[in-house]
């Protein structure tokens, strides 16, 4: 969708559909008050009849409203006035966009309510993200595409003062870049495991690398990983016919000598569990076990689109986890790149095995901070459900920074504790550590495992097992946590408001 910004009086907006906000289904918002008398009279009379439903995001279309240039008016219920904010506006606008996208309206305009004038940056950003989410479709694998005949292609955001325009333009630029990053992450994640293999992910990273000279994309082969001693990662891949890849994306937008933020994303393109095989019900969803990796690609694309003045490295260890004659067996002991030996007591705890070698590899970039993103534990879904990402780490400041970024952009995370009591759950009789921590605190013991490999730098871990995709009738990837990560980087660049 194209977004335009404009200063205009309500009556002069030439559009197929002018969207006007109403609170609680009856209280006219500021944009209605600004209509010329004749139009205002008709809108108020309609509102009095009570046909606009009383729930947030209810809509009512009006035709032939006199005294304005717009062909139609869409009344949009913004819900409770006291609770109104940029997120509520964005979510109601999402519904409006859905409606207009399905009828014959190709362009629309919305007057930013006075209530949001002091929050113009989040309002514009969230609006663009919500609109793009609404029109997102994944139909790459359908032979018949079910696209709207006349899709909504243009949205004009109207404000009254010139000085508001710049903020709004910046907000829309950030919002659309974040939304395209989310769309890339969603597309990669929604693709099935037989198409989105480690090799495919590596090719997509390389394609991203061709967008600009500031981004270099490479992928280590198994042979190269062997030479580096990545015994943990390669042990997972041994049970699969698809070769593993260690994808490395280097975005150099900052000063040459400034330390990069390193993002490490789990890229398990299908997790059957290995010899500790998973139950078959719902196993298809384990194609989503590469969502961490997909979010790294999505975030790096946003860095490129926004030309961020910062250095960011993306590392995506990518493999399948399948049962096979050569697969890991419970009790096997492998040696990681860091030299630590690991007793594999459950082959389904494979994410930490591929991540630990990638986290050791991250050291060579002299990181300012390392953040790993992984669909790591079912236990995280039990603890936090599908709304909140799990956050753990070894640095309070970095953890707070990520929590705040998530809060800012409505992509929330919640911190869980980590200490030596939990770490002891990983003790092994036969190796330096086991790959599982036994009963209780599965998300924390998984993080403790990674924590053994991240002692040389500031590190945070995002467990996105519950937030990366939705199940059920609207099964699909969410694109999270691209918003959180991009917001964190924007703030490091002092570009977010």
Nearer to ligand BES, 242 or 271 (CB): 271
Contact flag: residue 346 with ligand BES (CB under 6 A): yes
Q: Which of 397, 363, 359, 382 is nearest to 463 (CA)?
A: 382
Let me know how many helices (H) and strands (E) the chain has, helices first: 15, 21
Rounded-to-integer distance, Cα 406 and Cα 483, Å: 7
Please state the closest distance from residue 276 (CB atom) to Mn ion, in A. Answer: 8
- Catalytic site includes residue 206: no
Size of the site for Zn ion (CB under 5 A): 4
State the Cα angle at 134 between 405 and 13, rounded to 5°.
100
Contact flag: residue 351 with Zn ion (CB under 5 A): yes
User: What are residue 385's phi and psi, to 5 degrees?
Assistant: 65, -150
Nearer to ligand BES, 183 or 443 (CB): 443
In the set 87, 173, 238, 278, the catalytic residue is 278
Say if CB 108 and CB 157 are below 8 A apart: no
* Of 67, 148, 330, 378, the one binding ligand BES by CB under 6 A: 378
Q: Which helix (H) or strand (E) holds 59?
A: strand 59-63
Q: Which helix (H) or strand (E) holds 447?
A: helix 442-451
Nearer to ligand BES, 242 or 401 (CB): 242
Question: 429-468 mask for ligand BES (x: CB under 6 A)?
Answer: -------x-----x----------------------x---
Contact flag: residue 79 with ligand BES (CB under 6 A): no
- Interface residues with Mn ion (CB under 5 A) are 271, 348, 350
Q: Which does 305 bind (CB under 5 to 8 A by kind): ligand BES, Mn ion, Zn ion, none?
A: none
In the set 352, 423, 458, 492, the catalytic residue is 352
Contact flag: residue 235 with ligand BES (CB under 6 A): no
Please state the closest distance from residue 471 (CB atom) to ligand BES, in A. Answer: 9
Q: What is the DSSP letter of 440?
A: S
Contact flag: residue 271 with Zn ion (CB under 5 A): yes
User: What are residue 255's phi and psi, to 5 degrees?
Assistant: -65, 150
For the record, the structure tokens of 430 come out as 């036969």
Rounded-to-integer distance, Cα 70 and Cα 87, Å: 26
- Catalytic site includes residue 278: yes
Q: Which does 442 bind (CB under 5 to 8 A by kind): ligand BES, Mn ion, Zn ion, none?
A: ligand BES
Rounded-to-integer distance, Cα 206 and Cα 127, Å: 31
Q: Which of 80, 287, 256, 119 is nearest to 191 (CA)?
A: 287
Catalytically active residues, by annotation: 278, 352
Binding site for ligand BES (CB under 6 A): 271, 289, 346, 348-351, 375-379, 381, 436, 442, 465
């Amino acid at each position: 969708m194209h977004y335009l910004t404009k200063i205009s009086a309500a009556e002069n907006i030439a559009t197929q559909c002018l969207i006007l906000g109403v609170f609680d289904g009856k209280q006219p918002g500021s944009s209605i008050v600004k209509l010329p008398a004749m139009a205002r009279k008709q809108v108020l009379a309609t509102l009095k009849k009570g046909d606009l439903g009383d729930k947030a995001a209810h809509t009512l279309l009006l035709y032939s409203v006199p005294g304005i240039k717009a062909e139609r008016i869409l009344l949009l219920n913004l819900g409770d006035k006291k609770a109104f904010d940029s997120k509520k506006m964005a979510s109601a606008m999402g519904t409006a966009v859905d409606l207009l996208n399905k009828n014959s309206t190709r362009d629309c305009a919305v007057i930013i309510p006075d209530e949001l004038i002091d929050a113009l940056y989040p309002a514009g950003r969230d609006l663009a993200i919500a609109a793009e989410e609404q029109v997102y479709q994944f139909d790459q694998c359908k032979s018949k595409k079910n696209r709207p005949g006349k899709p909504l292609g243009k949205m004009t955001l109207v404000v009254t003062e010139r000085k508001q325009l710049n903020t709004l333009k910046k907000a829309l630029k950030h919002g659309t870049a974040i939304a395209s990053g989310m769309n890339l992450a969603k597309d990669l994640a929604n693709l099935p495991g037989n198409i989105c293999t480690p090799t495919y992910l590596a090719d997509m990273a390389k394609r991203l690398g061709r967008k600009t000279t500031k981004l270099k994309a490479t992928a280590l082969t198994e042979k190269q990983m062997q030479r580096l001693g990545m015994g943990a990662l390669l042990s997972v891949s041994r049970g699969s016919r698809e070769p593993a890849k260690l994808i490395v994306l280097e975005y150099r937008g900052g000063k040459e000598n400034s330390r990069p933020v390193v993002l490490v994303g789990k890229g398990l393109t299908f997790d059957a569990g290995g010899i500790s095989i998973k139950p078959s019900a719902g196993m298809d969803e384990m194609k989503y076990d590469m969502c961490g990796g997909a979010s790294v690609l999505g975030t790096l694309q946003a860095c490129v689109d926004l030309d961020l003045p910062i250095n960011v490295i993306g590392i995506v260890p990518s493999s399948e986890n399948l049962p096979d004659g050569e697969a890991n067996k419970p009790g096997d002991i492998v040696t990681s790149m860091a030299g630590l030996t690991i007793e594999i007591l459950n082959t389904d705890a494979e994410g930490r095995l591929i991540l630990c070698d990638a986290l050791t590899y991250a050291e060579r970039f002299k990181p300012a901070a390392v953040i790993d993103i992984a669909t790591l534990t079912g236990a995280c879904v039990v603890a936090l459900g599908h709304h909140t990402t799990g956050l753990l780490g070894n640095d309070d400041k970095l953890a707070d920074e990520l929590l705040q970024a998530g809060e800012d952009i409505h992509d929330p995370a919640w911190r869980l504790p980590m200490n030596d009591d939990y770490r002891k759950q990983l003790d092994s009789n036969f190796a330096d550590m086991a790959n599982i921590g036994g009963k209780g605190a599965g998300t924390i013991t998984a993080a403790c495992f990674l924590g053994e490999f991240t002692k040389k730098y500031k590190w945070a871990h995002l467990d996105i097992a519950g937030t990366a995709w939705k199940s059920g009738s609207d099964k699909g990837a969410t694109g999270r946590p691209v918003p959180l990560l991009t917001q964190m980087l924007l703030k490091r660049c002092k570009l977010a408001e």
